[in-house]
Structures are given as structure tokens and as C-alpha cells.
Amino acid sequence: MREHVNDPYVKLAKQHGYRSRAAFKLEEINTRDHLLHPGMLVVDLGATPGGWSQIAAKVGAKVIALDLLEMDSIAGVTFIQGDFTGEAALTELKQVLAGRLPDLVISDMAPNMSGVASADQARSMHLCELALEFACHHLKPGGAFLVKTFQGEGFQEYVKLMRDQFAQVVTRKPRASRDRSSEVYLLGKSRLPNAGSGTGIGLE
């Protein structure tokens, strides 16, 4: 708690009116990689409290956000409350998309940590796999995918899965990401037009 209260990015988030310090992570990655553009369609997975959706909406993107937890409304953002690991939320998300293909899928999802490293890593990678599977089924050719991962078991295999789907896969460690954290962001650039609709993960 003391670390959180004294965190300079927490203080900056309050000054900028951002809902979380995570907003600065997407802001920095976007400055470097130019992911966000006015009028584009963005799907934000694991959106609550809304920091990433705020950044995307600020540049004029149309955002569809999803999270298990409730999120206060943001102008330009359509919010779906539901469990991304369940079929009901995915069905509603597809209905809101109404056949449109997003230009960008972003995922800052993370499980509630149990403190058991192996279990937490497995649950985290499962969420990453779900997000990638969604992107592979719905992202438009040439689109991009940004996902939070944690280095550990399954990480290198996941990178390989992403390389099968995107022309380029790069890692990003924004300044707002705490040094002691194994958190790292993977960015898939330019979804390959001839890539399969699945990833071999086994989800349909």
C-alpha cells in the first residue's frame, strides 16, 4: 500500500484525470509504436478501471471495453460487463461488434494473484491465450494486438504463437511498469492475412 501511495505514476494519474497508472503504459507504447488513430475500432479486454480505454478514446478511437468488474462510463467507450473466460461475455462482445473487425485488440488482463507463483503464471498465460485466440478470430488483417504477459513458464511458447500470426512481434517494458515485476508487454504488428483463424491453443 505504501508503494502504491508513493508511486509517482499514481500521483501523475490523479493529476491527469486518468483512472489508473496503467494509462501511462499504453500512452508510452502508443507514442513509440503509433497504435492509436482517430476513428479506428479498438477492443479493450480487461478494461476496468478504464485507464487504457481513456487513452484510446482520447485520440478519437471507438472503443469496446470488457471486464468482469463494473466500470464507470467513458465518452466514446461501449462497455460490456462479463467474464471473458465464459461464453456469455464473448457472445455479447461479438454482438456489439456486429461483424466489424477491430483494428486493434489490447489486453491488460491479469488474474487475481494467489501468491503461488506457478499457479499465478498458469492463470495469467491462460488469459493471454484467450486474448490471442480472440484476436486471431476477429482482428482485421494488418491489425495489431497488444497484451500484458508475465515472463515465466509458457512465455516463449506464447511468443512463438504470436509470431505465427503477426508480421512482427516486439516486447515493450514501459517506464510505468515496476522494475521488480516480471510484467512485459508483447505487441504483434500487422496481422498476417494468410494466418489461420486459430492459434493451435485449442479454443474455438
Check the annotation: does 72 bind a ligand. no
Q: Give the sheet arrangement for strand 62-67, strand by strand.
A: 77-81, 62-67, 41-45, 104-107, 144-150, 183-191, 166-172
Chain centre to alpha carbon of residue 120: 18
Check the annotation: does 164 bind a ligand. no
**Catalytic site residue from 11, 14, 94, 148:** 148
User: What CA–CA distance (Å, rounded) separates 182 from 154?
Assistant: 13
Find out whether the peptide bond into 49 is cis, omega within 30 degrees of 0.
yes
Check the annotation: does 108 bind a ligand. yes
Check the annotation: does 50 bind a ligand. yes
Residue 11 falls in the annotated catalytic set? no
Do 144 and 184 meet the contact criterion of CB atoms below 8 Å apart?
no
Check the annotation: does 179 bind a ligand. no
Q: List residues with catalytic annotation.
A: 148
Per the annotation, binding residues for S-adenosyl-L-methionine are: 50, 52, 67, 83, 108
Per the annotation, binding residues are: 50, 52, 67, 83, 108
